[in-house]
Amino acid sequence: MIAGHSFLQRRFVPGDARVCARAARNFVALFAIIVGLPTAQAQNGSPPSPASASANAANDLQDRLRRMEERLDHVSRQNEALTRENEQLKQQFQEVVREVRSAPEPGLFGPLSSSESKAITGGSDPPATAGGGSKTSGGDPTATGRAQIIGNARLGSLPLKGVYNWDNDGFILSTADDEFTLGIRAMTQVETRIYQQPNQVPVSSGFYNPRSRIYFEGRLSKPIQYEFSFQNTFDTVGLLDAYLNLNYDPRFQIRIGRYKTPFTYEWYRVHVWHLLAPERSLFANNYEGNRRFGLMGWGSLFDQRVEYAAGTFNTQRNSYQPFNSRQDVMAFLNFKPFYNREESFLLRDLQFGGSVDAGQENQPTVPAVLRTNSAPSAAGADTGGAASAATLPFLAFNPNVRERGARALWELHAAYYRGGLSLLGAWEGGFESYANGLTGPSNRIPIGGWFAQAGYLITGETLRDRTLIEPLRPFSLRPGHFGPGAIELTARYSLLTLDRSVFTAGLSDPNLWTNRTDMIDVGFNWYLNKFIKIYFDWEHAMFAQPVYYRPGGLQKTSDLFWCRFQVYF
């Protein structure tokens, strides 16, 4: 219709057709006068003649011109009607455009009216009022159309872009302005543990899946960040992290929810997929802060030269609900004084600092069993939870023992990275308070430990921190793409001791357990590419006195051959 209208507008302007018809009729009449044609009265009073025949022909021509003029007048009137209709449609379209442009961004519309919601969802309108309209629309006939337009923008027109962030952030969906994002990451570990000593109970050789995780994280506007993550460990699925982080200034951020607590460098600063050995050192495995619900302030200062965190947290480990209203205070401080110096500066990537965990406890003993390596718990944390058939215990508290009294633990750490070299170490100490039952006296048990660890990439890769390693030549057997991956040699010594009062106070059985364990790990890591890592590790544990490992059996050492396959993306 609009195309036809434009065609007529180009050829017939209103009024031009009538002017042309009159000019043609006048020309014919003038021609008849000049050649002496008779008038219409003379034609009616005398017989036909050649001259009258010519006059009749002129009249016929005038009639046809008159009919053409009438037809053109009709077309001109139609053209004018189409012009008015087109103007009305144009005004309606401009009104819709103004309404859409004045609305908030897609996905951020305010509440719809009832009539608009009904139009979007297909529900029935509210009962009609006495005036004939609905209670919400006021009888507005455009309410449904407007609701359809807004509904399409609200439900089906939100522009999203999807990317894979190579820097450890996974798959990300975001709005065009990056204000709102949803990122998805995943990790799984499958391993075999082979113990040299046979017939150990409950420890056994075999294949295990210590962790499978999925992370959902992103922003609810650029300053407001979130994470929800879940973990399957030994066929039990649980919550891992659930928090909001307010990041209006990287120098001071606020985090609330459940997340990694800021105690020990190994635990707080080194992710499980970045570890040099398959699991952390003895002290971190058994006395770290673990994941808890709490409120924390944290950030980095002086161009990333100082990292800090401090917060208050529920006292229990690996539990979704607090046992009491008490809180632990934890704080972490890490210095990198030469972080922004030139690459050639020898101490550029030196780090050192410390952390503390203090509080008043009154709860079941967690962990109730101290182990040589990690036992991921049913609550979804990395360590310190439910007993596992894959982990070797060296001290178990008696069944009626509780944590009751003061807790004060500390750690001093240092780390150094240079080229392909990683050096980590920590000195740890403090005390925990334990009691027999609800009424027994509280006993402060001094705790101490330390570890030193080294790793070196022999294939030429470099790093400035414990991060994902991207091989210079990723592993491949395809012709023209051959690559060995990256190889990292590793070694660690760690020690954990508890004062012998843990036995003299009746908290543990000295005939079955030891209060001191030394552990050596030697192995290498093979990075097939940035996402696939394979650990090979020999772990040799030495006990100050023989420990229980099967009914009627004690041993002073334990040897574990460990191969772990890890995928993280």
pLDDT score recorded for residue 505:
95
Give the pLDDT score at 55. 66
pLDDT at 68 over 90: no
Tens digits of per-residue pLDDT, 502-549?
Answer: 999 999 999 999 999 999 999 999 999 999 999 999 999 999 999 998
Q: Is the pLDDT of residue 440 over 80?
A: yes
What span, in angstroms and rounded, lies between the C-alpha atoms of 424 and 248?
A: 32
Distance CA 140, CA 161 (A): 37
For the ranges 65-74, 145-154, 188-197, 381-390, which has the lowest average pLDDT?
Answer: 145-154
The percentage of the chain sitting over the pLDDT mark of 70, rounded to a whole number, equals: 75
Residue 451 has pLDDT above 90, yes or no: yes
pLDDT at 35 over 70: no
323 vs 142, more confident? 323
Residue 375 has pLDDT above 60, yes or no: no
| Confidence (pLDDT) at 165 | 73
Does position 321 have pLDDT exceeding 80, yes or no? no
- Three-class SS of residue 151? helix
- In which band, very low, low, confident or very high, does the pLDDT at 203 lie, cut at 50, 70 and 90? confident
Separation of first and last alpha carbons in the chain: 57
If pLDDT is split at 50, 70 and 90, which confidence band does 69 have?
A: confident
Which tokens in the block code for residue 124?
């029935």
At 73, the pLDDT band (50, 70, 90 cuts) reads: confident
Q: Provide φ and ψ at 418, rounded to 5°.
A: -155, 115
Question: Position of tokens 């001071």?
Answer: 252
Instruction: Give the pLDDT score at 11.
Output: 43
Q: pLDDT band at 392, cuts 50/70/90?
A: confident
Rounded to the nearest integer, the mean pLDDT of the chain is 81
Is the model's pLDDT at 147 over the cut of 70? Answer: no
Whether the per-residue pLDDT at 552 is higher than 90: the answer is no
The candidate with the shortest Cα–Cα distance to 378, out of 219, 231, 193, 551, is: 231
> H helices of 122-202, where?
143-155
Q: Worst-scoring range by mean pLDDT, 52-66, 198-212, 322-336, 528-542?
A: 52-66
Lowest mean pLDDT segment, chosen from 175-184, 320-329, 352-361, 524-533: 320-329
pLDDT (tens digit per residue) in 94-116: 777 776 666 554 443 444 455 44
CA nearest neighbour of 569 among 185, 183, 165, 182: 185
Of the two residues 461 and 233, the one the predictor is more confident about is: 461
Contact at 8 Å (CB) between 285 and 426?
A: no
pLDDT band with cut points at 50, 70 and 90 for residue 389: low
Average pLDDT over residues 6-13: 42
Question: Higher confidence at residue 373 or residue 3?
Answer: 373
Note the pLDDT of residue 59. Answer: 76
pLDDT higher than threshold 90 for residue 397: yes
pLDDT for 425 beyond 80: yes
Confidence of residue 200 (pLDDT cuts 50, 70, 90): confident
pLDDT of residue 506: 95
Q: Where are the beta strands (DSSP E) in 145-205?
A: 160-165, 170-175, 180-195
- For residue 393, pLDDT over 50 is answered with yes
| pLDDT over 50 at 469, yes or no | yes
Six token digits for residue 281 = 């050192």
What is the percent of the chain with per-residue pLDDT over 90, rounded to a whole number?
A: 55
Q: Are 542 and 553 in contact (CB under 8 A)?
A: no
pLDDT bracket for residue 129 (50, 70, 90): very low
Task: Please determine, for residue 143, whether its predicted confidence score (pLDDT) is greater than 60.
Answer: no
Query: What mean pLDDT is predicted for residues 176-184?
Result: 91
SS3 assignment, position 442: strand
Provide the sign of the torsion angle of the four alpha carbons 268, 273, 277, 282, taken in this order. Answer: positive
In Å, how far from its chain's centre is CA 366? 31
Whole-angstrom distance, CA of residue 399 vs CA of residue 364: 10
User: What is the pLDDT, as a whole number, of residue 100?
Assistant: 62
Nearest one of 364, 231, 252 to 297, comparing CA atoms: 252
pLDDT at 50: 57
pLDDT at 307: 98
Average pLDDT of the residues in 301-324: 89
For residue 5, what pLDDT is reported? 43
